[in-house]
Structure 1
Amino acid sequence: MWKSMMLAAVMVGLAGPGCAEDVGTKIIAMERAALDRSDGGDAQGFLEISAPDVVYMDPALEAPLIGLPALTAYYAKFPSGGEPTPGVMSNAHVQVLGDVAVLSFHYVSAAGTKKQKVWNATEVYRKTGADWRIVNTHWSLTAPMM
Structure 2
Amino acid sequence: MRKYVVVTLVAAVFGTGCQPAADRFDPQEIIALERGALDRWGKGDPGGFFDLMAAEQTYFDPMTDKRIDGQDSLKKYIAPFTGKISIERVEMIDPKVQRAGDLAVLTFNLIDYGAQVAGGPKTTARWNSTEVYRRINGSWKIVHSHWSYVKPDINETEDVREADARAIRESETKWAQAWAAKDLDEIVSHYADDASVDLANMPILNGQDAIRAALKQRLADPNFALTLAPAQIEVSKGGDLAYARGGYSVTLTDATTKRPATHKGKYVVVYRKQGDGRWKAVHDINNRDTP
Q: TM-score range by the shorter chain?
A: 0.7 to 0.9
Contact 1:53 1:135 (C-alpha < 8 Å) held by counterparts: yes
Corresponding letter in the other structure for 1:103 = L
Tell me how far apart the structure 1 counterparts of residues 130 and 85 of structure 2 sit (CA, whole Å).
Answer: 27
Q: Distance in 2 between matches of 1:82 and 1:142?
A: 20
Which residue type is aligned with residue 132 of structure 2?
V
Q: % of aligned pairs identical?
A: 38
Q: Distance in 2 between matches of 1:59 and 1:69?
A: 20
Residue deviations 1:40-83 (CA, integer Å, cap 9, x gap): 00011101111000001000001011000011101112141675
Using the size of structure 1 for normalisation, the TM-score is 0.79
1:116 and 2:119 aligned: no
Structure 1 residues 131, 79: CA separation in 2 closer, same or farther (over 3 Å shift)? closer
Deviation at 1:34, TM superposition (A): 0.1
> What number of residue pairs does the alignment pair up?
127
Structure 1 consecutive aligned stretches of length 4 or more whose deviation exceeds 4 Å: 81-84
Find the partner of 2:48 among 35, 45, 49. Answer: 45
Q: Does 1:28 align with 2:36?
A: no
User: Following the alignment from structure 2 to structure 1, what is the Cα–Cα distance between the partners of residues 93 and 107?
Assistant: 10
Question: Structure 1 residue 85: deviation in Å?
Answer: 2.6
Distance change (3 Å), C-alpha of 1:82 and 1:51: closer
For the pair shown, which has the larger CA radius of gyration, 1 or 2?
2
From the two aligned structures, give the one with the greater strand fraction: 2
Which residue of 2 is the match for residue 75 of structure 1? 78
Pairwise CA distance, 1:19: 3.9
In structure 1, the residue corresponding to 2:107 is in which secondary structure? strand
AA aligned opposite 1:28: I
State the superposition RMSD in angstroms: 2.3
Residue aligning to 1:135: 143
SS at match of 1:76: helix
* Aligned CA distance change for structure 1 residues 57 and 26 (closer, same or farther; 3 Å): same
